[in-house]
Amino acid sequence: MSQQTRKPIRWGMVGGGRGSQIGTIHRNAALRDNVFALVAGAFDIDPERGRAFGLELGLDADRAYSDYKAMIKGEAERPDGIEAISIATPNNTHYEITRLALENGLHVICEKPLCFSVQEAEELLTLSRSKDLIVGVTYGYAGHQMIEQARAMVRNGDLGEIRVVNLAFAHGFHSEAVEEKNPATRWRVDPAFAGPSYVLGDIGTHPLFLAEAILDHMKIKRLMCVRQSFVKSRAPLEDNAITLMEYDNGAIANVWSSAINAGSMHGQRIRIVGSKASIEWWDEQPNQLRYEIQGEPARIFERGMGYLYPQALIDDRIGGGHPEGLFEAWANLYRRFAARMQPHDHAAPSDISNLIFPDIEAGLEGVRWVENCVRSANAGGIWVDYR
């Protein structure tokens, strides 16, 4: 697809400073297709380190800010001030930064989880709608092309009626108390920074969103969840959780969210079982989608091939056989965010608008899911109604 190069959206970042886990991919994704231009930033909890990093990234000295409040205020006073902001800070700050940005007329791209409670998420949704502003949430795996293929296959009835959904995001990186030495893990197991959950919100919400996107005709009716802190010092936050979910069409799902799956690199999988066939996608091999029809040999679909549904090819950057990865998936999402923020300059005709777009409702659903999982688990693993 041709890349849009007209009038990049003036863009600022909060968080994602030097050494952060996720800052680099935000910048790579936003800048890849020239749909955003990085012109301001408050990158770090440490003001001086943040300003120095902004200068290294090439910002003008007066736009490398010491904190996000100064940035939002300073930019609002400029005729060429930022139009959009990305938030890549620890979870406890997302709500207040998103709120201030929206109040000041900025579009927002926020890290997950969007905030800590359904009530906060609904407030942000109401505010964004009243201001006619876009909030995107970086469920980055949704930008992989094979997720669009999976969605098209379900919609076209290739699987038949959906019966079972297996979801997992279960890595092994925190099977020991690595937080004793690693600050980026330390805040994740502290409720003051991470919120009411660790792995449910940090990783379980990723496959949950993939399921929402692929199975958008199905709604969760009720769920039950159990959660454990295998590294005891993490209590009350869990490092492992298992959730069962019933959908309104009678389908059943399970979600394994874990940071203690020793030996696993990433372990994010989605398997969807229908009455005729099943599909399976694994984020460690994101260019392939497994398609199994009952009674036939399994097939492996490859990204970029002409036999895929057209919507799986819209974001193609290079022909099949060349591996694409998470950076491309995120760039695909950033382009869709831009298309929603400034449709006149960035919407590619017909195509992008039908692709997956993790918006504020996706952010709200993630928060709702975590809230319900925690409610169920804290009551001893009982079924709870979802809405």
Rounded CA-CA distance 86/28 in Å is: 13
Among 42, 224, 253, 362, binds ligand NAI (CB under 6 A): 42
Nearer to ligand NAI, 279 or 329 (CB): 329
Rule CB under 6 A: say whether 90 interacts with ligand NAI. yes
- Please list every residue from 193 through 232 that binds ligand NAI, using CB under 6 A: 202
- Please list every residue from 167 through 196 that binds ligand NAI, using CB under 6 A: 184
Beta strands across the sheet bearing 9-15: 36-42, 9-15, 84-88, 107-110, 135-137
- CB count in 10 Å sphere of residue 204: 31
Least Å distance, CB 148 to ligand NAI, is 18
- Please list every residue from 349 through 378 that binds ligand NAI, using CB under 6 A: none
Rule CB under 6 A: say whether 120 interacts with ligand NAI. no
Least Å distance, CB 101 to ligand NAI, is 12
Rounded CA-CA distance 30/99 in Å is: 22
Closest CA to 84 of 351, 337, 367, 378: 337
Among 40, 88, 211, 253, binds ligand NAI (CB under 6 A): 88
Nearer to ligand NAI, 8 or 16 (CB): 16
The H or E element that residue 92 is part of is: none
Nearer to ligand NAI, 17 or 81 (CB): 17
The contact mask relative to ligand NAI for 45-84 (x = CB under 6 A, - = no) is x----------------------x----------------
DSSP assigned state of 306? T
Residue 278 token pair: 């099943």
Distances (CA, A) of 147 to 30, 67, 205, 212, 302: 20, 37, 16, 11, 12
Given the structure tokens 């098209």, which residue do they identify? Answer: 152
Rule CB under 6 A: say whether 140 interacts with ligand NAI. yes
Given the structure tokens 């999988």, which residue do they identify? Answer: 269
Rounded CA-CA distance 35/336 in Å is: 10
Rule CB under 6 A: say whether 15 interacts with ligand NAI. yes
Given the structure tokens 């060429």, which residue do they identify? Answer: 80
Rounded CA-CA distance 238/382 in Å is: 17
Among 89, 149, 205, 376, binds ligand NAI (CB under 6 A): 89
Q: What string of H, E and C letters represents the secondary structure of 242-298?
A: EEEEEECCCCEEEEEEECCCCCCCCCEEEEEEECCEEEEEECCCCCEEEEEECCCCC
Least Å distance, CB 347 to ligand NAI, is 24
- Which of the stretches 17-25, 168-176, 317-325, 375-383 binds ligand NAI when contact is defined by CB under 6 A? 17-25
Among 33, 75, 83, 111, binds ligand NAI (CB under 6 A): 111
Least Å distance, CB 184 to ligand NAI, is 4
Among 9, 14, 224, 362, binds ligand NAI (CB under 6 A): 14
Among 107, 112, 171, 174, binds ligand NAI (CB under 6 A): 112
Phi-psi region of 12 (alpha: psi -120 to 50; beta: other; left: phi over 0): beta
Least Å distance, CB 67 to ligand NAI, is 6
Using CB under 6 A as the criterion, which residues of the chain lie in contact with ligand NAI when the complex forms? 14-17, 20-22, 42-45, 68, 88-91, 93, 111-112, 138, 140, 184, 202
